[in-house]
Amino acid sequence: MATNLRYTGYHQDQNTAFDEELALVGRGTPCGEYMRRFWHPVAMTSQVEDVPLLIRRFGEDLVLFRDKKGRYGLVHRHCPHRNASLEYGIPTECGIRCCYHGWHFDIDGTLLEAPAEADDTKVKQQVRLGAYPVREYRGLIFAYMGPPEEEPAFPIYDTFEIEDGELVPYEVTQPCNWLQIAENSVDPMHVVFLHTRVNIVQFTEKLGYWPVMDWRERPIGLFYTKARRVNDYIWISTNDVILPNFTQAGAVYENTDGTEPKYFGRCSFTRWVVPVDDTNTTILAYRHFNKRAETARDEWKTPEALEKIDIGELRSRPYKERQRNPGDYEAFIGQGPISPHVRENLVTSDRGVAMYRLRLRNEIKKLQAGEVPLQPAAYVDNPIPTYGSDTVIRLPASDDDEAAIAALQRQVGDIYEEADRIKGEARYDYLAERLAPLNT
């Protein structure tokens, strides 16, 4: 770098090398192997019709189908006979049949029939179609793409099991690396600026109030609370990240008006950031409708769930409109296909980004050293407690207001953690009982 600090274009670092350890998601890459140890949503159930669905996940071309028995199969795209694509395959009573020479495979990849061969052909013992286990759960299809002998228990999260609750799935795709999207969930300052102060208020102006932050780690991830003063009340909103790519946030539109307490109101979205390949990502998600979630907006129930809804502005807006009022999508893709970390300047307000990257790196290293990653359903029995929430506590302003707010939010975080092993309604009762006395 030249000593003159003005007009440094010529001298600026032009290095575009990216962080391979975290960015690459293919088979055999550090992060690709780590992420493959978890269940991920791969599509919406509604996308699987009478014909197979061609998808790409973690850099692998795959075909998702439902056989005539109603079972789901997720298999490699190309038939192991002579590579015809099974997107043209025919779902059968028991699996899928290749269109080219009729080889017939079960959902687990077993070759059941090679009709042009003699009955005693050895090919049925020798050849397999690559297949992965799948689970349909409330409108999303989940897959486990790791080594079969390491298949973990299927995790079910508490917000999906709230009495009389409804989950509405959706998907939005993003043409960039998965990490720059996942990191957005641990970047609370972007909410203050991108969504509120710099542009048109995209959600509510209170998201632009300056938050006091408390960062916390738990064995399966990290969560943080953002405490904002609204009149005599402190609105404590919590974001939850469960490793590697599960995210929840507090209320987006509805929040406190500063006139009454609230105890652990629940989030209205759960999102998984799922790599398509190294430079494409899809967000598969549920919108939650239940008695504890923020008040639903009509448009959140749209049945056209692909590219039609997200937390913020959609990618389908005209370019100039996106320039005039950019949202998360513009922030993500503006970083490039894979953001080069060597050219960033992380600062104190990027603490969440640094924490998240470090956790991922540590987990990757543990796996490389032979340790099995801690699974959500191994940490706590299903349903697993999540933290995406809002609590509002009365605390009139004092001389050292920031310290008082910080102390309150730490107490709230402690109480949340205490309740980790209490299930169902009892957890909400416990939290309300413990949080209410914090009102001043």
**Strand arrangement of the beta sheet that strand 104-105 belongs to:** 90-92, 95-97, 104-105, 111-113
Q: Do 242 and 230 form a contact (C-beta atoms < 8 A)? A: no
CB 129 within 8 A of CB 97: no
Q: Which of 183, 214, 328, 330 binds Fe ion (CB under 5 A)?
A: 328
Helix (H) or strand (E) holding 269, with range, is strand 269-277
> Which is closer to Fe ion, CB of 60 or CB of 328?
328
H helix and E strand count, the chain: 11, 20
**How near is the Cβ of 159 to ligand FES at its closest, in Å?**
43
341 touches, from Fe ion, ligand FES, none (C-beta below 5 to 8 Å by class): none
Residue placing its CB nearer to ligand FES in the complex, 56 or 101: 101
Residue with tokens 């991108």: 194
Token digits of residue 430: 């416990």
Q: Judged by CB under 5 A, which stretch of 290-298, 320-328, 365-373, 381-389 contacts Fe ion?
A: 320-328
Helix, coil or strand: residue 315 = coil
Q: Distance between CA 256 and CA 233 in Å, rounded? A: 8
Nearer to Fe ion by Cβ, of 239 and 375: the residue is: 239
Handedness of CA 244, 60, 127, 142 (dihedral sign): positive
Under rule CB under 5 A, how many of the chain's residues touch Fe ion? 1
User: In angstroms, what is the minimal distance from the CB of 187 to Fe ion?
Assistant: 8
**Shortest separation between residue 82's beta carbon and ligand FES, angstroms:** 4
Residue located via tokens 């998601």: 25
Nearer to Fe ion, 313 or 363 (CB): 313
* Nearest Cα to Cα of residue 357 among 22, 58, 16, 17: 22
| Residue 267 contact partner, candidates ligand FES, Fe ion, none, CB within 5 to 8 A by sort of partner | none
156 binds, among Fe ion, ligand FES, none (CB under 5 to 8 A by kind): none
3-class SS at 137? strand
Instruction: Output 100 or 215, the one with its CB closest to ligand FES.
Output: 100
Q: Whose CB is nearest to Fe ion? A: 328
Q: Which does 101 bind (CB under 5 to 8 A by kind): ligand FES, Fe ion, none?
A: ligand FES
CB atoms within 10 A of CB 81: 17
Nearer to ligand FES, 21 or 61 (CB): 61
The interface region with Fe ion, picked from 215-223, 233-241, 321-329, 399-407 by CB under 5 A, is 321-329
**Interface with ligand FES (CB under 6 A):** 79, 81-82, 84, 98, 100-103
Minimum CB separation of residue 145 from ligand FES in Å reads 22
Compute the least distance from the CB of residue 64 to ligand FES, in Å. Answer: 18
Least distance to ligand FES, CB of residue 129, Å:
9
CB atoms within 10 A of CB 117: 13
Per partner kind, with CB cut-offs from 5 to 8 A, the member of Fe ion, ligand FES, none near residue 242 is: none
Q: Which of 293, 264, 226 is nearest to 392 (CA)?
A: 264
Min dist. Cβ of residue 252 to Fe ion (A): 9
Q: Which is nearer to ligand FES, 82 or 291 (CB)?
A: 82
Residue located via tokens 């632009």? 208
List the one residue out of 275, 285, 280 whose CA is nearest residue 305: 285
Q: How far is the CB of 85 from ligand FES (least distance, A)?
A: 9
Rank residues 283 and 404 by Cβ distance to Fe ion and give the closer one.
283
> 435 Cβ partners below 8 Å, 6+ apart?
261, 263, 264, 391, 393, 412, 415
Q: Which parts of this chain interact with Fe ion (CB under 5 A)? A: 328
